[in-house]
């Protein structure tokens, strides 16, 4: 009995049976209809059909699971094959319906991220906006759900996390005499020091910047901090929640000492989650993330900043139309987004140009008159704006695509996108003085969101139903007491074949990873020859050392990284290793792509080839040895191979980030003593002495093999990934072969009869094709009707 407890304690609660009773169906259908309000009727119909398929599949799996649990409940010795089957059923039952699609809006100060979100959700001024100044002070996630009210959760730094930041802030502001008793240089606060003073005064009050770390630990904060470190807000109307939320997410002015208690705990806030009730515009399952452009001085917030970027499957780089043509901030945002495509889950990247209605007509007409071949029929502001926007799209699309081609594999999904640039206007979306609603392209972004969710739902449900069908095939065959021929038990040929193929897979993975060896070595050579120039550029400021002393100290306190709300992000470790990444980026992208293999450098196709060869061999041996008597089990095993090896892709994606960042992590660890020494420097000419310590420290580490150690650590991470893949494959396939070799006579005769569940599952599996065909027909009819409808007229000419 003890042997069964591991999975018996996970049995569904009896009261959960109620979810399958008829009286609740109307309520559930109503909820489902509400969740799909964001979609046009054609897409709603498709989603409802897929939702129904998934719901009925979960019901069949739950009924099957409960029958099996009841049939083996009193058994003392349950075969491993039955344990495997029961646990697989439970895993499918508990599998989330759909992982959220995170769409990151990534932009610098005043770019219009919050205004864009407000327009997309059709709630003017919901998130705070204020033109050119920094407004949103932390990561804000906006999604819709099944709640009846508007809700928000404000997550605060833990007590330990705040103590860590407090220590860094006070160290940054600490002014002492130098080693020889001389006073420190005349102190000119830089950006880092200004922000530290601002935070301390906001949290503790005026004069806090002059107190020590120990004194501030004993001081009482101005605001009330909940013990849970989470603040929950609710409101019936969007405007009401917006008013409550504003003090927590709006960046407070540095010259302002007023405000409420909510304002005073602002420095503790690390994340805000906002949930809208059943939105007609944003479907449930999509999360819009307002991401500040440069990270944060606090380690926890900065880590969350990077992880948030990496978990986004879509990134929109937001840039004001007046700043689109240059500037370091814009380029930094694009580079960080392209890194997310390398190290994270990002598959789609686009440039969203905001404030696209801004245009000075006389100036534009004069510009146009000097261009050859320019159309001369511009009669209005609207025509000029539309022409200029189209021109920007063509130009920026080419520039962005060229940048992506240099960083990513040629067959990357993002390069296949028909549109990489959108020109939007949140202001015109509300006013429609110059542009129509369609011409603001806000509806186009909504359509993109809906399409992504619909496509993901189709793929997820198709995979789910197919996997469930395979399990029911096997379960039904286990319930059968038919005697199978002895040839079925002869699995040694398949086992030998699997062992040989695993060895070939290991060699293929080695060959795949070997493609990065030469670019990695070339990158090391480039880094050795250029690190002094790069470091020197990072340590020079146009104003000299004025105000840079404290910024450099902040960089050293955070082991080479400083993230400011107003200045570009500084990362010395990343800058020093940039020549290596320039060499390996295209190869790294090819290794982790999912397209067809060309030169053998892609990892996923090797796993797909292993899966296909295993499935083909299993079918071949099955036919030769009489598996036709147990085709259900054969079909299940083939499908189970797909499920097992398909799960490897997610495992690989999770490991990818650690591999990609291993170079900068290694360099940061090697330079940590150097940063710590520089951070302690005070007194006369402290800034120059800090720079000198950094230069000498980097020189010493490079001479001792810093870049070579980084190379070894990345190669070690690749080796660990290979070992993890082969271990998972060996373990899972061994369990499957144990299932295949389990005798069919007498072992399963006590199992419950699940023929009715199998028949229902068979019908659901057949319905997949019908649902897909219906969706295609509806989409075709919708497109036909749209083509036949008259085009919308624009606003009056201005």
Please tell me whether residues 199 and 251 are part of one structural domain: no
More confident position, 43 or 355: 355
SS3 at position 789: coil
Dump pLDDT digits (tens) for 46-104: 888 899 999 999 999 999 999 888 887 767 777 777 788 888 899 999 988 888 999 99
Q: Who's near 540: CB < 8 A, 6+ residues apart?
A: none
Any domain includes 460: no
Q: Is the pLDDT of residue 397 over 70?
A: yes
Is the confidence at residue 389, as pLDDT, over 90? yes
Tokens of 627: 């598996």
Q: Are residues 584 and 543 in the same domain?
A: yes
Residues 142 and 289 in one domain: yes
Q: Within a domain: residue 416?
A: yes
CA distance 609 to 623: 21
User: Per residue in 522-560, pLDDT tens?
Assistant: 999 999 999 999 999 998 875 655 668 888 988 999 999
Q: Is residue 69 part of a domain?
A: no
Which H/E stretch holds residue 319? strand 314-320
Structural domain contains residue 40: no
Q: Compute the distance between CA of residue 629 and CA of residue 643 in angstroms, rounded to an integer.
A: 24
Same domain, yes or no: 152 and 165: no
The string of DSSP letters for 387-411 reads HHHHHHHHHHHHHHHHHHHHHS-TT
Spatial distance between the Cα atoms of 164 and 30, rounded to a whole number of angstroms: 49
Number of Cβ within a 10 Å radius of residue 604: 19
Residues 492 and 560 in one domain: yes
**Mean per-residue pLDDT for 413-438?**
91
Angle formed by the axes of helices 631-660 and 442-478, to 10°?
140
Q: How many helices (H) and strands (E) does the chain have?
A: 26, 11
pLDDT tens profile 723-745: 999 888 887 777 777 666 655 44
> Mean pLDDT over residues 24-50, rounded?
69
Check pLDDT > 70 for residue 213: yes
Q: What's the domain count of the chain?
A: 3
Query: Is the pLDDT confidence value at 373 over 90?
Result: no
Cβ atoms of residues 270 and 156 within 8 Å: yes
User: Given a cut of 80, is residue 5 above it in pLDDT?
Assistant: no
pLDDT at residue 12 tops 60: no
Does some domain include residue 650?
Answer: yes
Which pLDDT tens digit goes with each residue over 179-190? 444 445 444 556
Query: Residue 138's pLDDT is what?
Result: 83
Give me the CATH number covering residue 418.
3.40.50.300
pLDDT in tens, 216-253: 999 999 888 999 999 999 999 999 999 998 888 876 55
CA-based max dimension of the chain: 94
Q: Do 150 and 165 fall into the same domain?
A: no
Q: Is there a single domain that holds both residue 535 and residue 501?
A: yes
- On whether both 199 and 295 belong to a single domain, the answer is no
Based on the domain organization, do 133 and 208 belong to the same domain? no
Query: What gap in Å lies between CA 116 and CA 136, rounded to an integer?
Result: 13
pLDDT(642) > 80: no
Q: Does residue 553 sit in the same domain as residue 524?
A: yes
Question: Phi/psi class of residue 214: alpha, beta or left (left: φ > 0; alpha: ψ in -120 to 50)?
Answer: alpha
The pLDDT, as a whole number, for residue 676 is: 94
Q: Which pLDDT score, from 0 to 100, does residue 57 have?
A: 95
User: Do residues 584 and 601 both lie within one domain?
Assistant: yes
Stated as kind and residue range, the H or E segment containing 269 is strand 269-277
Do 200 and 285 lie in a common domain?
A: no
> In terms of Cα–Cα distance, which of 501, 730, 748, 726 is closest to 633?
748
Answer yes or no: is 473 within a domain.
no
Residue 77 belongs to a domain? no
The rounded distance, in Å, linking the Cα atoms of 313 and 311 is 6
Q: What pTM does this model have?
A: 0.86
Range of the domain at 171: 159-176+188-228
* Per-residue pLDDT tens digits for 245-275: 888 887 655 555 555 556 778 889 889 999 9
pLDDT value at residue 262: 62
Residue 746 lies in a domain: no
Instruction: Quote the CA–CA distance of 121 and 101 in Å, as a whole number.
Output: 16
The confidence score (pLDDT) of residue 127 equals 87
Pairing state between β 269-277 and 150-156: antiparallel
pLDDT band at 608 (very low <50, low <70, confident <90, very high): confident
The answer on pLDDT for 648 being more than 50 is yes
Q: Which pLDDT score is estimated for 186?
A: 45
């Amino acid at each position: 009995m003890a042997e069964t407890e591991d999975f018996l304690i996970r049995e569904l609660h009896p009261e959960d049976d109620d979810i399958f009773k008829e009286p609740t169906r109307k309520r559930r259908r109503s909820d489902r209809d509400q969740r799909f309000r964001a979609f046009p009727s054609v897409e709603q119909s498709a989603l409802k059909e897929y939702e129904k398929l998934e719901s009925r599949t979960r019901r069949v799996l739950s009924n099957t699971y409960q029958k099996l649990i009841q049939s083996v409940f009193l058994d003392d010795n349950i075969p491993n094959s039955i344990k495997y089957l029961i646990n697989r059923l439970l895993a499918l039952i508990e599998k989330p319906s759909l992982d959220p699609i995170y769409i990151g809006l990534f932009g610098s100060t005043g770019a219009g991220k919050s205004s864009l979100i407000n327009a997309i959700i059709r709630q003017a001024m919901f998130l705070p906006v204020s033109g050119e100044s920094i407004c949103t002070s932390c990561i804000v996630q906006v999604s819709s759900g099944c709640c009846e009210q508007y809700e928000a959760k404000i997550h605060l730094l833990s007590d330990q996390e705040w103590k860590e930041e407090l220590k860094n802030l006070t160290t940054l502001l600490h002014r002492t005499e130098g080693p020889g008793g001389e006073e420190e240089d005349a102190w000119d606060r830089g950006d880092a020091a200004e922000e530290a003073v601002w935070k301390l005064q906001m949290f503790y009050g005026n004069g806090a910047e002059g107190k020590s770390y120990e004194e501030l630990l004993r001081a009482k904060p101005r605001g009330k901090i909940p013990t849970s470190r989470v603040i929950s807000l609710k409101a019936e109307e969007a405007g009401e929640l917006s008013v409550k939320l504003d003090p927590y997410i709006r960046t407070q002015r540095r010259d302002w000492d007023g405000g409420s208690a909510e304002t005073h705990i602002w420095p503790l806030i690390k994340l805000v989650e906002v949930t809208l009730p059943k939105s007609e515009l944003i479907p449930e399952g999509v999360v819009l993330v307002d991401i500040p452009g440069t990270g944060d001085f606090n380690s926890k917030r900065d880590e969350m900043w990077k992880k948030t970027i990496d978990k986004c499957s879509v990134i929109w780089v937001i840039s004001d139309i007046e700043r689109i043509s240059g500037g370091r901030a814009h380029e930094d945002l694009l580079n960080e987004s392209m890194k997310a495509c390398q190290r994270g889950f990002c598959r789609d990247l686009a440039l969203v140009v905001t404030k696209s209605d801004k245009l000075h007509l006389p100036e534009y007409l004069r510009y146009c008159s000097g261009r050859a071949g320019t159309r001369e029929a511009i009669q209005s502001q609207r025509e000029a704006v539309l022409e200029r926007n189209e021109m920007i799209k063509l130009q920026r699309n080419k520039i962005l695509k060229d940048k992506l081609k240099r960083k990513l594999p040629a067959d990357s999904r993002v390069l296949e996108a028909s549109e990489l640039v959108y020109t939007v206007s949140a202001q015109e979306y509300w006013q429609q003085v110059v542009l129509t609603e369609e011409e603001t392209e806000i509806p186009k972004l909504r359509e993109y969101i809906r399409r992504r969710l619909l496509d993901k739902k189709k793929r997820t449900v198709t995979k789910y139903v197919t996997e469930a069908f395979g399990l029911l095939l096997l379960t039904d065959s286990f319930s059968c007491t038919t005697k199978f021929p002895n040839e079925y038990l002869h699995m040694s040929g398949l086992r030998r074949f699997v062992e040989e193929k695993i060895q070939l897979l290991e060699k293929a993975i080695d060959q795949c990873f070997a493609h990065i060896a030469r670019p990695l070595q070339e990158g090391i050579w480039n880094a050795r020859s250029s690190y002094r120039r790069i470091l020197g550029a990072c340590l020079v400021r146009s104003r000299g050392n004025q105000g840079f002393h404290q910024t450099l100290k902040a960089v050293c306190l955070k082991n080479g990284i400083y993230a400011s709300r107003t200045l570009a992000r500084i990362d010395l470790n990343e800058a020093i290793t940039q020549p290596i990444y320039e060499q390996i980026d295209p190869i790294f992208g090819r290794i982790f792509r999912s397209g067809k293999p060309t030169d053998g450098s892609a990892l996923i196709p090797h796993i797909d080839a292993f899966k296909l060869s295993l499935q083909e061999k299993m079918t071949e041996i099955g036919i030769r040895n009489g598996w036709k008597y147990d085709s259900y089990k054969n079909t299940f095993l083939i499908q189970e191979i797909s499920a097992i090896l398909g799960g490897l892709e997610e495992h690989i994606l999770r490991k990818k980030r650690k591999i990609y960042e291993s170079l900068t992590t290694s360099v940061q660890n090697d330079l940590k003593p150097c940063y710590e020494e520089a951070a302690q420097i005070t007194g006369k000419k402290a800034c120059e002495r800090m720079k000198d310590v950094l230069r000498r420290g980097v020189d010493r580490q490079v001479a001792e093999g810093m870049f070579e150690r980084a190379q070894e650590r990345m190669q070690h991470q690749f080796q660990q990934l290979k070992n993890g893949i082969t271990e998972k494959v060996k373990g899972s396939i061994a369990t499957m072969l144990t299932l295949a070799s389990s005798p069919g006579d007498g072992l399963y005769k006590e199992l419950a009869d699940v023929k009715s569940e199998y028949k229902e599952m068979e019908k659901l599996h057949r319905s997949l094709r019908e649902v897909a065909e219906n969706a295609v027909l509806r989409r075709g009819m919708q497109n036909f009707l749209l083509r036949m409808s008259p085009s919308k007229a624009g606003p009056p000419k201005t």
